[in-house]
């Protein structure tokens, strides 16, 4: 078994190395071609308030954005190695999601205080930090709080200290909160930390506003890097499918079984192996890009984060059968309304966190969940002032928690009706059987 685990680890490390290599080559080539000042761009990213929606492609340029993303990725990979964290579906989902949000909202400095808070919590509770490592990684959704306090809200001499202290406090208290919040949506929102971050962000934002700290939402979105990002994504998705195909003994065998999975608390790595998981991730990447092309939206920092979140969580709950109903529901909700294409696209990609709804309760409920998600997500951001990057995860948690009682009532009613039908059917068969027996007895008497 130990050799089997070692082989799996080597396969995942090989796959990760190839994917990172593809991105690095594309990154270096593009930076050299554009002759960007990466260092100056990186400084602008680090000192940006980072409130929703701040596209770092506009702030720092594509070279600086990829440098920022790689620094965060390497930092997390190093911690994973040092802590000896097993690479499962949730870990893969975490890495892809955090990498994606490095294109808007997260930078290598504003995420660090959360890890310090997590370490302090692990010491306080006498637990191993690796047990809460993934929770802390996702908690960096609240990174804009650190940047906002450091560079906009508080202009005193202690602003940086205040920002670091706030990040440490959030990192310290988030783990018990996340465990509690998961009960609200019962796992039907894959982005549980988005829901937790929304609640926590709302409380902190309210406190800041109480002391007259003004948080100003922004809307900075790039439009010029669509082709470069699509080429890079296509290369990564093809690589994922090829690597998965090779790991899965050069076949797609078993993928149909994965597509039958509901996606509820489903770690595809543990259930189906790395091969099928990578195949699913690559396919879902093309589904996400295809959806953007279908509705005519260009790739930018936020939408790339949405695509990568879809790909990452295709290792933990998503496949095209349970995500397409969500996409359809969001698109349907935006059709014929004043909602712009970017908002619809972003809400649809991140709204696929509701994939287990479609997986467990069916396509119709999936479409309803997607439709309701777009309605909720457009208003819910004001609660936390745009400082929770996983705003869609917050919305999805509310939608899932709201729909669950109705979905369960419907399911119970259908189950009850089916039981009554089967009971009547059984009684009918019994009556027919008794009648046939009676006829047979009468025939014997006649003879």
Same domain, 8 and 86: yes
Q: Are 387 and 215 in contact (CB under 8 A)?
A: yes
3-state class of 8 per DSSP?
helix
In a domain, 433, yes or no: no
Q: Which two tokens stand for residue 296?
A: 């005519």
Number of structural domains, the chain?
2
pLDDT band (50, 70, 90) for residue 304: very high
**Token pair recorded at residue 253:** 């065998």
Same domain as 182, residue 108? yes
For residue 303, name the pLDDT band (cuts at 50, 70, 90): very high
* Residue 367: half-sphere exposure toward Cβ, Cα within 13 Å: 6
Containing domain of residue 300, as a range?
226-403
Report if residue 297 sits inside a domain.
yes
Query: Residues near 118 by Cβ (< 8 Å), separated by ≥ 6?
Result: 129, 132, 133, 135, 136, 139, 171, 172, 174, 175
Query: What's the CA gap between 225 and 96, in Å, rounded?
Result: 20
Indicate if 261 and 391 belong to the same structural domain.
yes
Angstrom CA distances, 265 to 154, 188, 260, 422, stand at 41, 8, 14, 31
Domain assignment present for 411: no
Mean pLDDT to the nearest integer, 254-272? 95
Closest C-alpha to 385, from 258, 264, 214, 271: 214
**191 shares its domain with 268:** no
386-399: pLDDT as tens digits? 788 999 999 999 99
| 120-123 contact pairs (CB < 8 A, 24+) | 120/168, 120/171, 120/172, 121/171, 121/172, 121/173, 121/175
Q: Express as a percent the part of the chain with pLDDT over 90.
A: 57
> What is 378-429 written as a DSSP string?
HHHHHHHTT--TTHHHHHHHHHHHHHHHHHHHHHHHHHHHHHHHHHHHHHHH
Q: Which residues have a Cβ under 8 Å from the Cβ of 309 and sit 6 or more positions away?
A: 96, 97, 100, 191, 349, 350
Higher pLDDT, 383 or 377: 377
Task: Quote the mean pLDDT of the chain.
Answer: 87
What pLDDT is recorded for position 442?
Answer: 57
Instruction: In whole angstroms, give the CA distance from residue 27 to residue 15.
Output: 18
Q: Is residue 421 one of the residues assigned to a domain?
A: no
Q: pLDDT band for position 184 (50/70/90)?
A: confident
Question: 320-357 b/e with 16+ CB inside 10 Å = b?
Answer: bbbbbbbbbbbbebbeeeebeebbbbbbbbbbbbbbbb
pLDDT grade, residue 27 (50/70/90)? Answer: low
Mean pLDDT of 313-335: 95
For residues 215 and 52, what is the distance between their CA atoms, to the nearest angstrom?
Answer: 11
Rounded Cα distance between 447 and 444, Å, is 5
Same domain, yes or no: 187 and 233 = no
Confidence of residue 1 (pLDDT cuts 50, 70, 90): very low
| Judgement on whether residues 186 and 248 belong to the same structural domain of the protein | no
Residue whose C-alpha is closest to residue 158's, from 166, 111, 109, 206: 166
Residues 195 and 237 reside in one and the same domain:
no
Is residue 215 one of the residues assigned to a domain? no
Are both 55 and 178 inside the same structural domain? Answer: yes
Judge if 6 and 134 occupy the same domain: yes
Residues 6 or more apart whose CB falls under 8 angstroms from that of 351 comprise: 326, 327, 329, 330, 369, 370, 373, 374, 377, 392, 395, 396
pLDDT single digits (tens) 200-230: 988 998 888 888 777 777 888 998 889 989 9
The CA distance from 179 to 175, in Å, is 6
In a domain, 437, yes or no: no
What pLDDT, in 10s, does the model give residues 45-97? Answer: 999 888 888 899 999 988 889 889 989 999 999 999 999 999 899 999 999 99
The reply to whether 416 falls in a domain is no
What are the CA-CA distances from residue 424 to residues 294, 295, 336, 437, 446 (Å)?
48, 49, 46, 20, 33
Residue in 218, 245, 98, 226 with CA at minimum distance from that of residue 151 = 218
Helices 2-34 and 226-247 cross at an angle (nearest 10°) of 160
Report how far residue 67's alpha carbon sits from residue 44's, in angstroms, rounded to the nearest whole number: 13
Q: Domain check: are 245 and 167 in the same one?
A: no
Residue 200 and residue 239 in one domain: no
Closest alpha carbon to 280 in 307, 232, 318, 251: 318
C-alpha–C-alpha distance, residues 388 and 51, integer Å: 8
Least Cα distance to 196 among 217, 215, 175 occurs for 175
Confirm whether 167 is domain-assigned: yes
- Both 77 and 152 in one domain: the answer is yes
Residue 131 has pLDDT above 90, yes or no: yes
């Amino acid at each position: 078994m130990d050799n089997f685990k070692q082989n799996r680890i080597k396969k995942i490390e090989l796959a990760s190395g190839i994917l990172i290599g593809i991105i690095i080559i594309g990154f270096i080539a593009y930076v050299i071609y554009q002759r960007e000042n990466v260092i100056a761009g990186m400084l602008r990213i680090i000192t940006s308030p980072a409130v929703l929606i701040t596209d770092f492609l506009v702030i720092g340029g594509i070279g600086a954005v990829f440098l920022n993303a790689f620094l965060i990725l390497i930092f997390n990979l190093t911690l994973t190695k040092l802590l000896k964290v097993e690479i499962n579906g949730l870990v893969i989902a975490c890495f892809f999601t955090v990498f994606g949000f490095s294109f808007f909202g997260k930078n290598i400095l504003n995420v660090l205080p959360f890890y310090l808070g997590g370490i302090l919590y692990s010491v306080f509770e006498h637990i191993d930090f690796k047990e809460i490592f993934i929770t802390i990684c996702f908690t960096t959704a609240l990174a804009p709080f650190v940047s906002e306090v450091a560079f906009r809200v508080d202009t005193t001499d202690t602003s940086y200290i205040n920002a670091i202290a706030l990040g440490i406090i959030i990192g310290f208290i988030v783990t018990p909160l996340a465990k509690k919040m998961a009960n609200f949506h019962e796992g039907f929102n894959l982005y549980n930390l988005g829901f937790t971050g929304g609640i926590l962000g709302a409380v902190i934002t309210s406190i800041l506003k109480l002391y007259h700290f003004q948080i100003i939402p922004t809307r900075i979105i790039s439009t010029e890097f669509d082709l470069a990002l699509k080429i890079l994504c296509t290369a990564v998705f093809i690589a994922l499918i090829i690597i998965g195909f090779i790991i899965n003994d050069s076949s797609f065998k078993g993928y149909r079984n994965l597509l039958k999975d509901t996606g509820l608390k489903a770690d595809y790595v543990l259930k189906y192996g790395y091969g099928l998981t990578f195949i699913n991730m690559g396919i879902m990447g093309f589904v996400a890009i295809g959806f953007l092309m279908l509705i005519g939206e260009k790739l930018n920092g936020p939408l790339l984060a949405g695509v990568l979140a879809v790909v990452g969580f295709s290792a933990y709950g998503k496949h095209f059968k349970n995500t397409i109903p969500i996409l359809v529901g969001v698109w349907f909700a935006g059709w014929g309304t004043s909602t712009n294409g970017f908002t619809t696209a972003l809400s649809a990609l991140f709204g696929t966190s509701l994939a287990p709804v479609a997986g467990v309760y069916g396509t119709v409920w999936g479409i309803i969940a997607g439709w309701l998600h777009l309605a909720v997500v457009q208003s819910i951001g004001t609660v936390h002032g745009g400082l929770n990057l996983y705003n869609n995860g917050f919305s999805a948690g509310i939608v899932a928690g709201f729909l669950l009682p109705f979905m369960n009532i419907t399911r119970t009613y259908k189950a009850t009706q089916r039981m009554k039908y089967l009971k009547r059917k059984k009684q009918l068969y019994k009556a027919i059987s008794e009648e046939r027996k009676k006829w047979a007895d009468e025939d014997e008497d006649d003879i």
